[in-house]
Structure 1
């Protein structure tokens, strides 16, 4: 057996516990012998995580549920395999149910033809659907469910006391989860989710990738301002609500205006 090194009372992060990054952050929430897992990552590392859990002396039969933050392949490809090993249930947002049940490789970003990427996406059923305001109870620990869409429409975050398991909403370097229309991204919703996190009294953010960091308003505002700017930029194509440059171009074309220093050929 190995010593447990919780990052917060009742919360382990299994990559940190193993002192090796095996994939996305995998949070094990526990009280006494009962425990639940938030995300699992790729199928190829499931056995590694199971061995870590065994060595931490958690009874495999006491896993209450496997919780998916959202339905992206790098978070949930291993769900079907782990569910079979643990004989437990899967918990996710209703909008994650269909891509998980169908093993949808496009919606989960397991298949990106332009990048010659094609991964398996094993099908898995979701027994427990949760949404904003629901509570998942593990032993004596209450896990408050937040629906924080933006990165995907099924993105969930989970509050436990002063810490928010914040999914792919934001990382310590100010980056955010990828914006891609193919898996349900929404820039306006993303801004609202980031504002909600900023305005909460949560003290710490434990993301799905990378290290934990404080919930700081100035830091959050810099990211929020950048993401809000995407609504008026072409960077993410059809996800923008407008592209002011094109309005300016139409006016300039209609008026025959060229940039200063250029003139229309005579």
Structure 2
């Protein structure tokens, strides 16, 4: 497994390229603006083939580059939770996405020899998910380093966010955490020092 990070300064979003080195299959996670050139160059340089787009949720700063990628690769499928699908709000306009594959909690999507597990984690949006692959956890806007995502936007819920953070805290092992914004972390670091996760688990401060 290889993970490449593409920072998108226009929307302050972390985009990731996840690849199975044995087969060359790759997926781009949360292309929040046009990253087509960067993604295709990384794929070419590493001998990978871009197979799909994985979206942790439907906000504009995570889906803004999907159309450009699909212009370059028209058959590219896009994976999104139904809770955020077919929405036409300005901040969450997923209705215009094409070739959408709906995934749900517990689904496992193969990427070459890799297995990408979908964890439904509502709270930031109804359709927010985290993606677990081996020792990596892509948390979108559910879990940040020391923080959690906003819950005051459309579809947000503080109660659901607390339940989602509790679920993440209870995952086995010390996974590497790759959030949708700002710096990276580990699950154990967040269990120990993240106020919101500690509140969610009843651990206090």
| TM-score normalised by structure 2 residue count | 0.83
CA-to-aligned-CA distance 1:199-226 (integer Å, 9 cap, x gap): 1114121111122212122224x22356
Structure 2, unaligned runs of 5 or more: none
Partner of 1:190: 161
Partner of 1:200: 171
Residue 54, structure 1, aligned to residue 44, structure 2: yes
CA-to-aligned-CA distance 1:96-127 (integer Å, 9 cap, x gap): 2212xx4x31445xxxxxxxxxxxx8921243
**8 A Cα contact 2:43 2:50, kept in partner:** no
Residue 144, structure 1, aligned to residue 80, structure 2: no
**8 A Cα contact 1:97 1:126, kept in partner:** no
Partner of 2:24: 33
Residue 76, structure 1, aligned to residue 63, structure 2: yes
Q: Map residues 145-164 of structure 1 onto 2, 5 A cutoff.
A: 145-164=118-137
Distance 1:169 1:84 in 2: 29
Q: Map residues 6-17 of structure 1 onto 2, 5 A cutoff.
A: 9-15=1-7
Distance 1:95 1:124 in 2: 14
User: Relative to total residues, which structure has the larger strand share, 1 or 2?
Assistant: 2
Distance 2:171 2:135 in 1: 10
CA RMSD for the aligned pairs? Answer: 2.4
Match of 2:86 among 77, 93, 98: 98
Q: How many aligned positions are there?
A: 194
Task: Flag as ranges the 4+ runs of structure 1 deviating above 6 A.
Answer: none
Match of 1:67 among 47, 54, 57: 54
Structure 1, unaligned runs of 5 or more: 1-8, 109-120, 229-266
**8 A Cα contact 1:14 1:52, kept in partner:** no
Over 3 Å counting, the alpha-carbon distance change for 1:54 and 1:21 in structure 2 is: farther
CA-to-aligned-CA distance 1:52-77 (integer Å, 9 cap, x gap): 4434443xxx3221111101111101
Offset of residue 14 of structure 1? 2.9
Distance 1:132 1:171 in 2: 20
User: Relative to total residues, which structure has the larger helix share, 1 or 2?
Assistant: 1
CA-to-aligned-CA distance 1:210-258 (integer Å, 9 cap, x gap): 22212122224x2235679xxxxxxxxxxxxxxxxxxxxxxxxxxxxxx
1:157 match: secondary structure: strand
User: Which structure ranks higher in relative contact order (CA pairs < 8 Å, sequence separation ≥ 6)?
Assistant: 2
Offset of residue 35 of structure 1? 1.2
Distance 2:105 2:61 in 1: 23
**8 A Cα contact 1:150 1:187, kept in partner:** yes
Distance 1:55 1:21 in 2: 23
